Structure 1
Amino acid sequence: MSPQSNAEPQRLAKRLAAQLPCSRSDAENYIAGGWVRVDGLVVEEPMERVRDDQSVQLDPRAKLEPLASMTLIWHKPATRVLPDEPLLPDALAAKWFTQSNRFKGDRSGVRPLKAHLHKLLPVSPLGNKASGLMVFTQNPSVARKMTDDAGQLEHEWLADVAADPELEDEARRDAVLKSLGKALFFDGWAVPSARASWQSELRLRLAIKGNQPGQVAHLCERAGLQLSGLRRLRLGRISLAGLPVGEWRYLLPYERF
């Protein structure tokens, strides 16, 4: 047995850097970009250990360019509980955002990479019992937009309310809309009035600027209603637009909140 075959496995980035040759930093970028195969399988972890007898190949279409910061749009199911952490754990992101539940209508053309699921920040999060549009981003400019302009971003909701015989009365239903249309202070914040309309006997559509946790439930309670379900349809200029429950897509380059 040759001495070389007894060599300890080495990091993929080190092996690729010596093989090309290129800098270790460039090798790491190639690997994280999904351009490197080990024994025919794509490996995206620069720290992966490889043996001397394993084949390491760089895709001939490989581009040496920085990884773009990604923003993901997701239709959160009402049953999905978000962790109480500033960033979505990578392991959870890998479980929630897979190729199998990526929206088939995603027109971004982005090749999904593990790096796209690293350090995802949930912006304007939903309560655990709410469903609908959620946004996760790696992009600092998107995060700043959602924070700095939070009070000016309009959220569109579908709110289901508990059955109440009084709601069969047209005057009572009109009174609910008037109540929802009044501005109020909630949890120390001045909450703008909501534009509201009845979609069915027990479903309201509301558009409100800002998103204080519990805000919609408080508005409904003030109007004498009991909220039984809540779904966000739109955040700023981004909407669900046919995105099925549980599926996700990449934010398109021209889309703005």
Structure 2
Amino acid sequence: MSSPTPPPTPHPPERLSRCVAELLGCSRAQAEQYIEGGWVRVAGEVVETPQALVDAAQVALDADAPPVAMVQAAEPATMLLHKPAGVDFEACTSLVTPDTRADGDSSEVRMLQRHFAHLAPLMPLDTEASGLVVVSQDGRVARRLNEDGAKIEQEFLVEVRGATGPYTLGKLSRGLSYEGRALPPCKVSWQNEVRLRFAIKDVRPGQLRHMCAEVELDVVAIRRLRIGRIGLNKMPPGEWRYSPVGDRF
């Protein structure tokens, strides 16, 4: 009577980067770029951590993986979010999840799990306002918007109620002050009978509501449409899209 066949000896776990380097015949650095780009699967699941300990027998490349020579280091991500009214600015990052990416995102950026870590909201927006908010993990974008934000024009649509006069637009566009500081001129126009369009720089919390109150208008709603060259476009509240690397505000 023959003895039963012993079970196969399990492979000792190895670093994923080493497995991929051996699989592709490439350097460890190239293997790490491949992994961080989301092109490697372990037991059928994408793993983006080069240091992960895995069974080499379960490592495989994604079916759509490009040649190793074409893979570059994963860039930090910047997202453009349509913040709903009532959401605190600092809580915006909690809305950016894989499930809330806009169907109409035409950026062609490959979504990675690493894109949802260490995000920071930029260019503050009042809690009661809705509209465009930049959320990024890219230090270059953060520096640009934090250091030069006061110089970047923003566009707002403000719904108001109240009686208007012949000098309403003139007063809004020049001559007002806020928190003890004279406000620089801005561009204001009527979109329709109840909506004002502001093109304005260096907007501080509560400023638009104060400006409207100064001309005896009550603010019903505020929506930010644009930051510099980047527009909100037709994106539903609570959804986001990628801002491609190289896009300038």
Are residues 190 and 174 of structure 1, via their aligned partners in 2, closer, same or farther at CA, if it must alter by over 3 Å? same
1:1-257 correspondence to structure 2 within 5 Å: 4-5=9-10, 7=12, 9=13, 11-13=15-17, 15-17=19-21, 25-51=29-55, 55-59=58-62, 60-61=65-66, 62=68, 63-83=70-90, 88=93, 92=94, 96-98=96-98, 100-161=99-160, 163-164=161-162, 167=163, 172-187=164-179, 189-253=181-245, 255-257=247-249
Asked if the contact 1:123–1:135 (Cα under 8 Å) also holds between the matched residues in 2, the reply is yes
RMSD, aligned CA:
2.9
For 2:46 and 2:234, the matched residues in 1 are separated by 32
1:133 Cα deviation after fit: 1.0
| Structure 1 residues 101 and 223: alpha-carbon distance in aligned structure 2, compared to 1, 3 A threshold | same
- Residue 12 of structure 1 and its aligned partner are, at CA, apart by 3.4
Query: 5+ residue gaps in structure 1?
Result: none
With the length of structure 2 as denominator, give the TM-score of the two structures.
0.80
| Identity among equivalent pairs (%) | 40
1:150–1:211 CA contact under 8 A, matched in 2? no
Give, in whole Å, the separation in 2 of the partners of 1:42 and 1:67.
Answer: 15
Counterpart code for 1:57: A
CA distance in 2, matches of 1:230, 1:12: 49
Q: Deviations over 1:152-209 (max 9, x none)?
A: 2111111122x43xx1xxxx33332222122444235543223222233332111111
Aligned amino acid, residue 61 of structure 2: L
| TM-score scaled by length of structure 1 | 0.78
Q: For structure 2, list consecutive stretches of 5 or more residues without a partner in the other structure.
A: 1-5
Structure 1 residues 100-150: Cα deviation after superposition (integer angstroms, max 9, x where no partner)? 433333332211112222322322021222111111223333222222322
Question: Which is higher, the Rg of structure 1 or of structure 2?
Answer: 2
Q: Residue 220 and residue 41 in structure 1: after superposition, are their counterparts in 2 closer, same or farther (change >3 A)?
A: same
- Match of 2:132, SS state, is strand
